[in-house]
Structure 1
Amino acid sequence: MSTSSETATPAESADQYARITKWAETNLGGRVTKIERQRRWRPVWRVTMDDAGATKDYVFKADRAWAAHPYPHIHEMHLLNVLAANDIPVPPQRGFCSDPETIVMDWVKGGRDPGLVMEAVESASTMTPDRWSASLQYMEVLAAMHRIPADQIEAIGCYRPRNANEIALQHYERFYDMQKAHGIVDPLMDFVTLWLRRNVPQHRDRISLVTGDCGQFLSDGPDLTCVLDVEIGHLGDHLHDLACFRGRHPVENMGDLPALFAHYERALGEPLDLRVISYHTVAFLGVGYFGPLFALARTDPGGDWVEAAVQCAFIGRRCIEALAEFIGVELEDFDLPAPRPSPMEEMALEKLGADLQRLPLTDTFAGWQRGVLASVPDYLLAQTRHRRWAEDADLDDQERLLGNRPRDMADADRQLAAFVANAGPEHDEALTRLLYRRFLRQCLIISNGDVDHLAMAKVEPILDGRMDRARESMAVAVQ
């Protein structure tokens, strides 16, 4: 058996591979010839086997090293089995390996975007004619998933919401409870949570399967091959899944969103409520923010710290953008000022980055893993040059709102969280503007002021009339 140079972090041992090999050869038959680690948020291995001369590939999907969401790992396998029973194309499941804990399924041919911001910065996501064809097929499959009876989803342990508040937020609230359990002070999420609770769409009573992280599928040429990554699937409002497309694009290029939505609307046979999708965009981006937020303080082996930091800035800013569109607030942008040199810190970080890039590659330390380590001093170098500007401006903004100047950013977070806890809707606009400016500063630092950098990409509006034009175009096309 061989292990690819992209298979493992330095902390992973040969014993772990031996356990994967033992389970595979005992339960799948054949002989393991290769194990290849994939570049994903969580440990995922492609396992290649020789079975009487035939090559077969499987996926072993582990959970993240830290709690990133509130669902048990095996939940995804149960949900994939429900989807398969309803003729939804998913990878065939082969079982659950208990050591290491992994869901085992067939490797399905097809391509996809990785969904990582920093990888998309390195290689921009594109929409090809073939991928667009598969995307339209996905919208039809998504409509079919949303028609699966809720009883089937409840039967695998999913909580069934009891009222409009729970339909909208029971999934989100579980993530927010995790933030509080971690003891994380985050005024953005405190504000977003209170705003979501005050603005629940009370007319929504349909309970459907929600994939939770929609738009994830493999395609081969123009054909969709399978739906995957439903680890946070739950029962709620199916329009939350449409909001996912707004949140994921353009890190994963989804193409013409109004045209996709119009295609889904026709497949489902029900009109879309655009304000509900607008509301759920805030909720989806809030959920998307929690995962990297939980990762920042972790010191577990592996992971990608800079990806988490960049996602917090990027997703946090876009969450506020989505909220601003819903309440009708025009946000003001500004430019990154000239850097303030810090020669000693800069020289030290440049030296550290250069030394990290010189670390030798081995069978258990791949080039992409070395790049992940070297990205930390690169990130800190940009922060060093602009940190004082960002912190001074953040503290100035907060002093104008609260009437006193916090000592530092930790004190600012505590004071702002306390203010948010007692703030009514009359403060929504002021808090929206303050938080947008705070997160925009971080995105400007990450992008070095380049307005075309992915970190500066805005959420596509949904309440601007483009959806109506897409409906008209589809009506003409089907005549």
Structure 2
Amino acid sequence: MLSEIDHIAAEMGATHVVRFVEAHLGGTVVAIERIPRWRAGWYLTLERDGEAIELYARGERGPDFPSPFDLEHEARVHALLETNGVPVPHVYGLAEGPVRTLIMARVPGQQGLALARDDATRRELMTTYVGHMARIHNIDGERLRHAGFRVPTDPTDVAMSEVFRNVETKYLLLGRRDPLIEFLRSWLWRNVPERTRSTFVTWDSAQFLQHDGELTALIDFELAHVGDAYMDLAALRTRDSIEPLGDLHVTFAEYERLMGESIDFQRLRFYEISQLTVTLMLQFPVLIAPDPESDYVPHLTWYIDSARYALDIMAELFEIDIDTVDVPQAAPSTYHTRLRHLVTTMRTLARSEPKTDLARYGIAVDPTMAERTSASTAVDEFVGWRARCAYRLARHLQRVDEIGSTLDAQNRDDIARLVQHEVLDDAHADETLLTVIDAVGAEREVELLRLFAMRLQRLHMLLGPADSLIVRHRVLQSLPDRA
């Protein structure tokens, strides 16, 4: 006879998770909750010897959004950091099943700084985080080799490290090239800095949990590897654009104090562009061939935001301004009534965004409304999340119907002016851009930068209504050398 938890786990696709936990940790799983987000994940409560043990089961990414490393690599990262005194969730093991899943302790806390009690606490939390970053960057190379990590010594291998090369290889194997990614890749390979000191980096940095004023754990290490220390600093400005981190000038100064050396901010901009290019290459497979389980619009949003910030930072390097594109008047097709009806219907079906998610991104909410979902409603919460996915996609397509043809024509006109001949359609536009990028080097960088900046502004307009948060482009904090 199956228990209630067995039935819930089966409906969530987590039977293998429950079986692994009970077999390897002992006790009985008394609660399980599917986390409503783009990748498979579950919260579990294990009862053992009268004690309730909270666990987090982190599934691998979907087939259209693979990680550069496997879950075994991520487990090794947790073990390395835990051994070196960095607070991270303890990993218990890997559950094999329909979705390979890493089982780890669930550490109390909320992600980011938005729900910290006050500004002073936020500053202290960031100071604590930078201290942990410095500790990670000082892990000895021999320890890294002994723990099974590849430690590059060639300067190019340090700067264009495992994550970039692994992701680039998978992107190239797709057999389909994205003009913007090609432009950025070409620029990066022409401008590789001379870096000889290899350092362990989390890469997708500044992700941590905090509770009652204390930093409880650093999290999310699927891209951690040995590269350049600047890779961790490179994530800060763009992460701050969605999860406010406070005054980053203070953060950079604290890092300089701890490491005993000044930051070369021009060189840091290279790593910011490199990291954003990796994000683009990771998103591209989802955009051209999404898995049925994928939440399409967030991936498109990550692509657009990453692209715009890469171009913003390149404009900083070139010390040029980027022109602003005006939003065109809506010119909906004859099918617009049906699209509007679809959006209205999906809005009714979709739940509002979880309060904890809104707070994490710096949107004011009442903290008392952030409640944990019980096992009895977990499946319903996941269904609600899937409805929100469909609603966001419907709203995007409605906006495409309203202004998409106008923006596509503007993009073709821009390319025609660049090459001085007619561009027939959107496919021809991409082919033309790729031909230009392959044929030229640094001599047309500024022209292409301006063209892509306008193209990405237009694509951003298509995500949703003109007054919605999703089309907002927050200006990055300045780096200290341009304050």
- Tell me the TM-score range normalised by the shorter chain: 0.7 to 0.9
CA change 1:393–1:126 in 2 (3 A) is farther
- Cα gap change, 1:15/1:453 in structure 2, threshold over 3 Å: closer, same or farther? closer
The residue number in structure 2 matching 1:209 is: 200
Shift of 1:157: 4.0
Q: 1:384 to 1:155 in 2, by over 3 A?
A: farther
Pair 404,245 (structure 1): closer, same or farther in 2 beyond 3 Å: same
- Indicate the SS of the match to 1:58: strand
User: Alignment partner for residue 347 of structure 1, among 333, 337, 341?
Assistant: 337
Q: Which residue of 2 aligns with 1:422?
A: 439
For residue 75 of structure 1, the aligned residue among 70, 73, 85 is: 73
Is it true that 1:19 corresponds to 2:16 in the alignment?
yes
Letter matched to residue 81 of structure 2: L
SS in structure 1 of the partner of residue 46 of structure 2: strand
Q: Distance in 2 between matches of 1:125 and 1:434?
A: 41
**Take 2:53 and 2:449, find their aligned partners in 1: how far apart are those partners?**
52
TM-score by length of 2: 0.87
1:243 and 1:126 map into 2 onto residues whose CA distance is 27
Mapped contact 1:129–1:222 kept (Cα < 8 A): no
| Shift, 1:366, TM fit | 2.6
Q: 2:125 maps to which residue?
A: 134
Corresponding residue SS for 2:391:
helix
1:69 is displaced (CA, Å) by 2.7
Structure 1 residues 127, 347: CA separation in 2 closer, same or farther (over 3 Å shift)? farther
- Counterpart Cα distance in 1 of 2:350 and 2:322: 47
Displacement of 1:447 in angstroms is 5.8
Q: 1:193 aligns with which of 160, 185, 189?
A: 185
Letter in 2 for 1:350: R
Alignment correspondent of 2:306 = 315
Asked whether the equivalents of residues 46 and 59 of structure 1 are also in contact (C-alpha less than 8 Å), the reply is yes
Question: Out of 428, 445, 448, which is 1:431 matched to?
Answer: 448
User: What is the match of residue 34 of structure 1?
Assistant: 31
State the number of aligned residues: 451
C-alpha distance in 2 between matches for 1:450 and 1:358: 20
Residue identity matched to 2:181 = M
2:16/2:95 contact within 8 Å kept:
no
Alpha-carbon contact 1:4-1:34 (below 8 Å) kept: no
Deviation digits for residues 364-384 of structure 1, max 9, x if unmatched? 553222111121111111111
- 1:180 corresponds, among 172, 177, 180, to 172
Q: Is the contact made by 2:399 and 2:464 (CA closer than 8 Å) also made in structure 1?
A: no
User: Which residue matches 2:328?
Assistant: 337
Report the CA distance shift for 1:337/1:68 in structure 2 as closer, same or farther (over 3 A).
Answer: same
Q: Relative to structure 1, is the Cα distance of residues 155 and 399 closer, same or farther in structure 2, using a 3 angstrom cutoff?
A: farther
Structure 1: which amino acid aligns with 2:424? Answer: R
Alpha-carbon distance in structure 2 between the residues aligned to 1:164 and 1:356: 52
2: distance between equivalents of 1:127 and 1:300? 41
User: In 2, are the aligned partners of 1:265 and 1:272 still within 8 Å (CA)?
Assistant: yes
In structure 1, C-alpha distance between the alignment counterparts of 2:221 and 2:348, rounded to whole Å: 38
Which residue, 127, 136, 139 being the options, matches 1:148? 139
Find the counterpart in structure 2 of residue 471 from structure 1: none
What are the Cα deviations for residues 282-339 of structure 1, in whole angstroms up to 9, with x where unaligned?
0111112222222123443422101111221221111111111112222111321221
2:42 maps to amino acid: W
| CA 1:407–1:124: 2 relative to 1, 3 Å | farther
Deviation (angstroms), 1:353: 2.8
CA distance in 1, matches of 2:297, 2:41: 20
Matched, 1:412 2:409: no
Mind listing any 5+ residue stretches in structure 1 that lack a counterpart?
115-122, 467-479
CA contact under 8 A between 1:90 and 1:228: conserved in structure 2?
Answer: yes
Cα deviation code 1:268-288 (max 9, x no counterpart): 222111111111110111112
User: 1:476 matched to which residue of 2?
Assistant: none
Verify the 8 A CA contact 1:447 1:455 in the aligned structure 2: no
Tell me the equivalent position of 2:368.
none
Deviation at 1:464, TM superposition (A): 4.5
Specify whether residues 397 and 127 from structure 1 end up closer, same or farther in structure 2 by C-alpha distance, changes over 3 A only: farther
Identity percentage over the alignment? 27
Structure-2 change in CA distance of 1:375 and 1:412 (3 Å) = same
Say if 1:317 and 1:234 are closer, same or farther in 2 by CA, change over 3 A: same
| Residues 59 and 461 of structure 1, relative CA distance in 2, 3 Å threshold | same
Cα distance in 1 for partners of 2:458, 2:26 equals 54
Give the whole-Å Cα distance in 2 for the aligned partners of 1:348 and 1:95: 49
Counterpart code for 2:451: L
> Of the candidates 399, 404, 420, which is equivalent to residue 382 of structure 1?
399
Identify the range of structure 1 (349-358 vs 305-314) with the bigger mean alpha-carbon deviation: 349-358
- Compared with structure 1, are the counterparts of its residues 43 and 129 closer, same or farther at alpha carbon in structure 2 (3 Å cutoff)? farther
Q: What amino acid is the match of 2:90? A: P
Q: Any idea what the Cα deviations from partners look like across 1:128-185, whole Å, max 9, x if unmatched?
A: 5433321210001000000001233334443332322221113323212211111232
Distance 1:61 1:15 in 2: 14
Q: Which moved more, 1:405-414 or 1:444-453?
A: 444-453
SS of the aligned residue for 1:242 comes to helix
Alignment pair present for 1:280 and 2:276: no
Structure-1 residue corresponding to 2:473? 456
Partner of 1:469: none
- Secondary structure of 1:250 counterpart: helix
- Go from structure 1 to structure 2 and tell me whether the alpha carbon gap of 1:60 and 1:187 turns closer, same or farther (over 3 Å shift): same
Q: Deviations over 1:191-219 (max 9, x none)?
A: 111111111112x2111011110001111
Measured in 2, the distance between the counterparts of 1:77 and 1:110 equals 21
Return the TM-score normalized by structure 1.
0.87
Aligned to 1:257: 248
DSSP-derived class of the 1:33 partner: strand
Closer/same/farther in 2, CA of residues 338 and 396 from structure 1, 3 Å limit: same
Distance in 2 between residues matched to 1:414 and 1:320, nearest whole Å:
21
